[in-house]
Structure 1
Amino acid sequence: MKSYFKVSLALVASLVLLLGCSKQASTPANSSSKEDTTTQSSESKQSTEQSSEKKETAKTHTFVNKSNPGITSTLVYTVEGDNVTKQTGQNVADPEILGATPEEVKSTLEDTYKGYYGLKGVKQTIEIKDGKVVQDLEVDYSTASLDELRKALPEEYPGIGNRVSFSITKNGLETLGFTEKTN
């Protein structure tokens, strides 16, 4: 029973928590031509204005999956256009249903996701609350490096490119049994 627990928890948690990062789409690289300071100043101002516009158009999408016995997963994506700018995830595992102790579940999650600790733009906590194990994760793609994430957790970030596509992510989540919550 314990080997079933370890295999199912590791596979299910890894698939549902970070599916949004598993599909990457490339964006063109910026050219590196020399420009005068007036042009650079103008571009900097335009970039700031575009950032303000993007913040106003950011939307959030919440997905929930309760189809895996013993684990409830909630994912929230902040999206600008088709680009995921931030992702939060919460897995709540019920050790009793998984046939393990809370400490075993917590230890398995800590071992599986130890690569996140110390990465810029990533916050993770794994703790026991009311007999359940709760894993909270936040990835801010405006500061996190996808290259560093790929090095730390290659199974979670197998894609290429430098952005996360929301449309691809949404399709993958729906295939895994997630449903989007509407307000």
Structure 2
Amino acid sequence: MNKYFKTTLLLALPLVFLLGCSKQSSTTSSSSSTPETTEVKTSESSTTEKKSELKTATFVNDSQPGVVSTLTYTVDGDNVVKQTAHNVADPEVLNNTADAVKSVLEETYKGYKGLKGVTFSIEVKDGKVVQDLEIDLSVASIDELRKALPEEYSGVGKNVSFKASKKMLTDLGYTEKN
């Protein structure tokens, strides 16, 4: 059982990115003289501007024997819009079998099934366990993620801070790749 716990812990580290959750206040501006059609144009303009501000950052951690984790963040300023994780575990190095590692991970992350904005898979490829996760935070609800996996999601607020996530990842041994 201790092997299963260690294996799960090694593969769970990349998924704790929401520790960087932060409260961000949203500001609303109102103008009584602005016609409704102008508001729509402003909204469309803002959407176009936001798309052009999106940037990606990739972090890799291969310091854990038998596990390579790659996380990619899509960010708008300090706000994480999307996060993907690609983890590869070598069961042989972990003194385990591929089926056992896969089974533990499936049980641990079954809460992701059916969540809006979350795509998750675990499969065995060439004797290695490959775990892929994509969370689209423009669609997914952080509250629902917290309900599904409370041990993975802490912090407060509705947004994920890239700055806080980056610091946490660096502290965990991740290296940013260009």
Shift of 1:163: 0.4
Is 2:20–2:162's contact at 8 Å kept on the other side of the alignment? no
Is 1:94–1:132's contact at 8 Å kept on the other side of the alignment? yes
Instruction: Give the Cα separation in 2 of the matches to 1:163 and 1:106.
Output: 31
Normalised to the residue count of structure 2, the TM-score between the two structures is 0.93
Is 2:117–2:136's contact at 8 Å kept on the other side of the alignment? yes
Say what the alpha-carbon RMSD is for the aligned residues: 2.0
> Amino acid of the residue matched to residue 150 of structure 1?
R
Where structure 1 has 5 or more consecutive residues not aligned to the other structure, the ranges are none
Instruction: Give the Cα separation in 1 of the matches to 2:67 and 2:45.
Output: 42
Shift of 1:38: 2.6
Instruction: Give the Cα separation in 2 of the matches to 1:140 and 1:155.
Output: 20
Partner of 1:68: 64
Answering whether residue 4 of structure 2 is matched by residue 19 of structure 1, we say no
Where structure 2 has 5 or more consecutive residues not aligned to the other structure, the ranges are none
Q: Deviations over 1:127-168 (max 9, x none)?
A: 000000000000000000011001001111111100000000
Answering whether residue 69 of structure 2 is matched by residue 98 of structure 1, we say no
How many residue pairs end up in the alignment?
A: 178
Instruction: Give the Cα separation in 2 of the matches to 1:29 and 1:52.
Output: 19
For residues 85-124 of structure 1, what are the structure 2 equivalents within 5 Å? Answer: 85-124=81-120
Match of 1:9 among 4, 7, 10: 7
Match of 2:149 among 144, 150, 153: 153
Partner of 1:162: 158
Partner of 2:54: 58
> 2:68 is paired with a residue of what secondary structure?
strand
Normalised to the residue count of structure 1, the TM-score between the two structures is 0.90
> 1:46 is paired with a residue of what secondary structure?
helix
Question: Segments of 4+ in structure 1 off by > 3 A?
Answer: none
Partner of 1:28: 25
> 2:25 is paired with a residue of what secondary structure?
coil
> Amino acid of the residue matched to residue 156 of structure 1?
E
Shift of 1:13: 1.6
> Amino acid of the residue matched to residue 17 of structure 2?
G
Instruction: Give the Cα separation in 2 of the matches to 1:157 and 1:37.
Output: 40
Shift of 1:30: 6.1
Percent identical:
54
Is 1:20–1:166's contact at 8 Å kept on the other side of the alignment? no
> Amino acid of the residue matched to residue 28 of structure 1?
S
